[in-house]
């Protein structure tokens, strides 16, 4: 039934979700905002400025647009330091096998990450050419949970959303997939990813034939 699989990147294919977490935590704590894994869960899949707004909502002071841009830039520089030494060794277990299985089954493969660093990460991992289409986050107006990014990937792949399977580790990402009218495979904890059609702990449990 599926004709395309559209993957999220951070936290699905590689553990950059942890690097985003570390970079946001340092920023939040410098601004006097308590930051933990539970709060971070709400930031997954949310774009840079949207994430910053969620963090600064917990601060005692207010920030000008200029100050917010400076903080977002500082977070991004820290994040880029953290990803600078990434390589194929940072692919999560099962990621390459999952991509190869989808390719072997003759399905199209898309990547839908709102990260403006996604192309850099794909290059470092050495998997850019495994995707038929990678959404350019700079061209996306609405962050997840809005369906725009998954719908854009489907359109560019030339596949109707009802024939797409989306793969996500984030609550906002699963919501984006479901709002796009696609089938959602969650990666992580079923108690967190309650809207997913199926949840597996990690991509090394990926079995395309189970989802047809």
The single residue of 8, 53, 160, 204 carrying the catalytic annotation is: 8
Q: Which residue in the set 10, 41, 47, 148 belongs to the binding site for Mg ion (CB under 5 A)?
A: 10
Q: Does 47 bind Mg ion (CB under 5 A)?
A: no
Between 8 and 148, name the residue whose CB sits nearer to Mg ion: 8
- What residues between 121 and 150 interact with ligand G6P by CB under 6 A? none
Torsion, CA 29, CA 174, CA 47, CA 163, rounded to 10: 160
The single residue of 10, 15, 160, 169 carrying the catalytic annotation is: 10
Residues 6+ apart with CB under 8 A from 206: 94, 97, 98, 101, 167, 185, 200
Q: Which residue in the set 6, 8, 144, 150 belongs to the binding site for Mg ion (CB under 5 A)?
A: 8
- Is the bond preceding 145 in cis, omega lying within 30 degrees of 0? yes
Q: Does 25 bind ligand G6P (CB under 6 A)?
A: no
For residues 61 and 174, give the distance between their C-alpha atoms in angstroms, rounded to a whole number: 33
**C-beta atoms surrounding 45 within 10 Å:** 29
Q: Which stretch binds Mg ion (CB under 5 A): 6-14, 58-66, 84-92, 138-146?
A: 6-14
Q: Does 170 bind Mg ion (CB under 5 A)?
A: yes
Residues 6+ apart with CB under 8 A from 67: none
8 is known as an active-site residue = yes
Integer-rounded Cα Rg, in Å, for the chain is: 17
Q: Which residue in the set 33, 35, 45, 92 belongs to the binding site for ligand G6P (CB under 6 A)?
A: 45
197 is known as an active-site residue = no
Q: Which two tokens stand for residue 178?
A: 């479901």
Residues designated as active site: 8, 10
The residue ranges that bind ligand G6P (CB under 6 A) are: 10, 17, 20, 43-48, 51, 76, 113-117, 170
């Amino acid at each position: 039934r599926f004709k395309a699989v559209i993957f999220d990147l951070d936290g699905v294919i590689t553990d950059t979700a942890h690097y985003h977490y570390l970079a946001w935590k340092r920023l939040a704590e410098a601004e006097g905002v308590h930051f933990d894994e539970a709060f971070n869960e709400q930031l997954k899949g949310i774009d840079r400025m949207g994430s910053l707004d969620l963090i600064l909502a917990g601060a005692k002071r207010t920030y000008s647009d200029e100050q917010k841009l400076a903080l977002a830039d500082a977070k991004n520089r820290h994040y880029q330091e953290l990803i600078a030494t990434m390589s194929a060794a940072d692919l999560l277990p099962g990621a390459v096998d999952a991509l190869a299985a989808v390719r072997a089954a003759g399905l199209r493969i898309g990547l839908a990450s709102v990260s403006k660093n996604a192309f850099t990460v794909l290059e470092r991992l050495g998997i850019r050419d495994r995707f038929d289409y990678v959404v350019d986050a700079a061209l996306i107006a609405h962050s997840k949970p809005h369906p725009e990014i998954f719908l854009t990937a489907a359109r560019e792949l030339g596949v109707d959303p009802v024939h797409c399977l989306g793969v996500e580790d984030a609550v906002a990402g699963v919501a984006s997939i479901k709002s796009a009218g696609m089938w959602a495979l969650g990666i992580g904890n079923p108690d967190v990813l309650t809207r997913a059609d199926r949840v597996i702990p990690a991509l090394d449990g990926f079995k395309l034939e189970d989802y047809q």
